[in-house]
Amino acid sequence: MAKTNTTEISTEPNGDLDRRSFLRKSLAAGGAVAAASAGATQALAEVNPANLPPNKPIWSQMLGPGVTQSPYGSPSPHEAHVVRRNVGWLTSSTQSSINFTPLQDLHGIITPNGLHFERHHGGVPAINPNEHRLIIHGMVKYPLMFTMEELMRFPSESHIHFIECPANGGMEWKGAQMESVQFTHGMVSCCEWTGVKVSTLLDEVGVDPKGTWVLAEGADGGAMDRSIPMEKMMDDAMICWAQNGERLRPEQGYPIRLLVPGFEGNMNIKWIRRLKVGTAPWMTREETSKYTDLMDDGTARQFTFVQETNSCITYPSAGQQMSHKGFHEITGLAWSGRGKIKQVDVSVDGGRNWRTAKLQEPVMSKCLTRFRIPWQWNGEKAQLQSRAIDETGYVQPTLAQLRKVRGVNSIYHKNSIYTWEIDTNGGIKNVQLG
Amino acid sequence: MAKTNTTEISTEPNGDLDRRSFLRKSLAAGGAVAAASAGATQALAEVNPANLPPNKPIWSQMLGPGVTQSPYGSPSPHEAHVVRRNVGWLTSSTQSSINFTPLQDLHGIITPNGLHFERHHGGVPAINPNEHRLIIHGMVKYPLMFTMEELMRFPSESHIHFIECPANGGMEWKGAQMESVQFTHGMVSCCEWTGVKVSTLLDEVGVDPKGTWVLAEGADGGAMDRSIPMEKMMDDAMICWAQNGERLRPEQGYPIRLLVPGFEGNMNIKWIRRLKVGTAPWMTREETSKYTDLMDDGTARQFTFVQETNSCITYPSAGQQMSHKGFHEITGLAWSGRGKIKQVDVSVDGGRNWRTAKLQEPVMSKCLTRFRIPWQWNGEKAQLQSRAIDETGYVQPTLAQLRKVRGVNSIYHKNSIYTWEIDTNGGIKNVQLG
């Protein structure tokens, strides 16, 4: 095995490597780093037991448990650290709180159901689906009440969409710096949702042409409710009963939730029990006192429904430790409530220079998009940033650009560019750059 | 609310309804059926408590549990019946057996990780990822041993693919009739897989141009191993560490498995520990005694890698009960190991007449494709069939066509058209038609 010194590779400071040139060099870099650790990468003339590393890897296992012991499977005990996490100081009760998705430990675009972020306003109701009903009433010709069995008879569709709380990143408007991407961006998750289009149900009840707004209300303790424009309801809104193949999880609205793709997470009403058609928004608590954007001049923006273009680097990211100099694949997620992601740029020098990342196909509308870009870390200080652009041409703003327009009073819709700063020891911190 | 008699709708015996015409008629059908049940569909002049059904649905819940009690979530207790299931008589031990995916209860195309089918040849090893190694050796320039940390440094990709055991449906070659689609087709599942391309690793070790086959071997009790053509390995094969976002489940190969998209499930070696490059297949037990197709004349087809075009209707399907006459959406899954599904046809009269179903986008290569088609059941006997066609033009065969070529001795690669027979009481049985 040809040995190449890592420092010889990085002729360009924190520079690029195309994929072909990466390969052989990565081998050398990998070998150099691993030689210092217990289980070293080894060049083996022949594979035989004498060449096994001293810590005796589990090389062949006796018969383990079989198929009947876990009819519904669970992750490996070695992945017990990959869980949703709460921030203790953030809310006064766990019943009205948030559990963040561990984005730093996830791969691809699908969020497994057990790790989908949670945001509750009144606990998780334990609903017997046989007793649940959905009522559609108000300005409709035939007010109707549906059982689950009746709802699930309708023609259905499946779509992969993200859901994001508009407070994602909200703790940082005024300068707080959360320690990991789980807490800066972990209020976004992405699943395949199956259900009936709301337009199908509204056609069924016969909407009065004067009806322009729909109130959606949940069956949780707080009766979470939001007003949604009829136009959105007739476009791509759905009443969903399944996520990632199986029925909704309790904390995601079992047995049914509203899905309004690209709109604020809280509008995707969970445990939905009622849709009411009217001519104006209902000015509920969740669209007056909450979920409005307080501006610098004391006025508040209301009905800012769409989750604008956003992105985050998930590896390397704040709270992680760089294991070695040399090749790293920078990867992350981008999304837009207005459609498809068109481009993601990545900077390793705090936004001075940008390169365009590769987007993993399929790139879908209002869906997480995984991006990846190769990088050679030379061991010096680096500032990693990602900047997403969606198909409408909207470019994710810097924090300074966002604050210029919106001030620092809001706790919602903070979709600005983040910076992960890598120090010379490989430590990674969340820092705020203008 | 205008009431329409269900019988008035079905002017055409078991006929079609396009989506628009479905809507108003479905309302009537729904109302008519529900009126006979406890929780009836009701036309409500106003929604008020007096109009609630007598069984008191949980209409608003007091505060339930909050976010910290289940950092890794689980399905609702009301979905406890949706589990993988074994067939007791099929294998002599649970360590070398099969757990089938409950396709009849799933929606969309993603299989949640807890319900991905399992097929083990020597139990599920409990592997500490820090002690696991992957060796690549044989006809290579630099034989190498990789730790997990080293493997996960490589450039990665994510793809949504199905994995199917070639014995799917195999119990029925000679005429057995399993009671549900869970057991006729439940050895297929579909996830988003993330890992490094095998071609990247083979480039790294420098393959001898004479190397045309690769042995893949697992770290399970039986050291499951298969020979795979170099061409496939350099095409779309991957070493995967994640499924549906999170790290592999133990029963799916934690910490790493091979993915050979479209090839027999058993070739997607789980707990993979070794790749060896050579010039000919190794004639392992799993490609001689097992996983060969015994023909009528006593010879055996060997190395029948590709899972040919297949499909199944998941609703209505064997073992279910039709709840009502009138509108039903027929839905199911189609897949091909050679590429994308191009078309799925559905018959309700045992294959005499066919209509083309709608395919749910995105339709991806070597991936489950969800199809749906509206149907009006008139209460008479019906025989439901689906027939898939892939982008190569391959048409899923009838059982008679398949037996004509392959006889009845094999237990593998039975991808013929199935028939669910609905009787006049709405009972549904798996029957075999020529």
Instruction: For residue range A137-154, list pLDDT tens digits in order.
Output: 999 999 999 999 999 999
Q: Which of A69, A110, A130, A320 to mutate to test the interface with B (most CBs of B within 10 A)?
A: A110
What is the Cα–Cα distance from A188 to A308, expressed in whole angstroms? 13
- Across the interface, do A118 and B67 touch by the CB < 8 Å criterion? yes
One-letter amino acid identity for A275? Answer: L
| A99, containing H or E segment | strand A98-99
Chain B residue with minimum CA distance to A60: B219
Burial of A71 (0-12, 13-18, 19+ CB in 10 A): middle
- Which residues 163-222 in chain A show a CB within 8 A of chain B? 191-194, 200, 203-204, 219-221
Retrieve residue A243's tokens: 């996520």
**Which of B99, B125, B328 is opposite residue A58, by nearest beta carbon?**
B125
One-letter amino acid identity for A307? Answer: Q
Listed in sequence order, the residues at least 6 apart from B328 whose beta carbon sits closer than 8 Å to its beta carbon are A153, B315, B316, B322, B374, B375, B376, B377
Residues forming beta bridges with residue B193, ordered by sequence position:
B159, B243
Which of A84-88, A139-143, B152-156, B325-329 has the lowest average pLDDT? A84-88
Residues forming beta bridges with residue B136, ordered by sequence position:
B144, B275
Give me the pLDDT at residue A148, please. 96
What is the Cα–Cα distance from B154 to B199, expressed in whole angstroms? 11
Burial of B303 (0-12, 13-18, 19+ CB in 10 A): middle
- The string of pLDDT tens digits covering residues B396-425 is 999 999 999 999 888 999 999 999 999 999
What is the Cα–Cα distance from A413 to A366, expressed in whole angstroms? 16
Task: Report the alpha-carbon angle A421-A425-A426, nearest 5.
Answer: 50
DSSP helix/strand/coil, A200? helix
**Is the distance from CB of B26 to CB of A159 less than 8 angstroms?**
no
Give me the pLDDT at residue B68, please. 67
Which of A90-94, B293-297, B382-386, B401-405 has the lowest average pLDDT? A90-94
- Which residues 266-285 in chain B show a CB within 8 A of chain A? 271, 273-274
Give me the pLDDT at residue B388, please. 98
Retrieve residue B170's tokens: 């195999």
**Which of A64, A99, A154 is opposite residue B124, by nearest beta carbon?**
A64
Give me the pLDDT at residue A236, please. 98
Q: What is the mean pLDDT of chain B?
A: 87
- The string of pLDDT tens digits covering residues B21-71 is 333 444 443 433 232 222 323 333 334 444 444 444 445 666 777 786 569
Give me the pLDDT at residue B433, please. 83
All residue ranges of chain A with pLDDT < 50 are 1-58
Q: How many CB atoms are closer than 10 A to CB A89?
A: 7
Residues of B with Cβ-Cβ distance to A248 under 8 angstroms: 76
- Across the interface, do B219 and A30 touch by the CB < 8 Å criterion? no
Provide the 8-state DSSP code for B413: -
- Which residues 375-434 in chain B show a CB within 8 A of chain A? none
**Is the distance from CB of B39 to CB of A198 less than 8 angstroms?**
no
Closest Cα in chain A, distance from residue B405 (Å):
34
pLDDT for B390 beyond 70: yes
Looking at residues B192-198, what average pLDDT do you find?
98
What is the Cα–Cα distance from B53 to B162, expressed in whole angstroms? 43
From residue B194, how far is each of A40, A246, A333 by CA, in Å?
24, 21, 14
Closest Cα in chain B, distance from residue A407 (Å):
31
Query: The dihedral of CA B281, B269, B394, B311: what is its sign?
Result: positive
DSSP helix/strand/coil, A147? strand
ipTM for the assembly: 0.90
- The string of pLDDT tens digits covering residues A214-235 is 999 999 988 999 999 999 999 9
One-letter amino acid identity for A216? Answer: A
Chain B residue with minimum CA distance to A97: B67
| A231, containing H or E segment | helix A230-235
Q: Does A45 touch chain B (CB under 8 A)?
A: yes
- Across the interface, do A154 and B329 touch by the CB < 8 Å criterion? yes
What's the predicted TM-score (pTM) here?
0.90
What is the Cα–Cα distance from B31 to A104, expressed in whole angstroms? 49
DSSP codes joined into one string, B319-387: T-B---SEEEEEEEEEE-TTS-EEEEEEESBTTSS-EEPEEPSPP-TTS-EEEEEEEEE-SS-EEEEEE
Give me the pLDDT at residue B187, please. 98
pLDDT for B242 beyond 80: yes
**Is the distance from CB of B72 to CB of A115 less than 8 angstroms?**
yes
From residue B264, how far is each of A365, B290, B299 by CA, in Å?
33, 12, 20
User: Which domains, from first to last, does chain B contain?
Assistant: 98-298 (3.90.420.10), 310-431 (2.60.40.650)
Within B3-60, residue ranges assigned H as helices are 6-9, 19-34
What is the Cα–Cα distance from B194 to B210, expressed in whole angstroms? 29
Confidence label for B299 from pLDDT (cuts 50, 70 and 90): very high
What is the Cα–Cα distance from B325 to A243, expressed in whole angstroms? 28
Residues of B with Cβ-Cβ distance to A223 under 8 angstroms: 60
User: To 10 degrees, what angle do helices B198-205 and A19-34 make?
Assistant: 70
Peptide bond into B255 cis (omega under 30): yes
Q: Which of B42, B165, B246, B375 to mutate to test the interface with A (most CBs of A within 10 A)?
A: B246
**Which of B34, B107, B220 is opposite residue A242, by nearest beta carbon?**
B107
What percentage of chain B carries pLDDT values higher than 70?
Answer: 85
Q: Does B354 touch chain A (CB under 8 A)?
A: no
Give me the pLDDT at residue A93, please. 85
Residues of A with Cβ-Cβ distance to B357 under 8 angstroms: none
Q: Which of A33, A244, A321, A376 to mutate to test the interface with B (most CBs of B within 10 A)?
A: A244
What is the Cα–Cα distance from B329 to A155, expressed in whole angstroms? 6
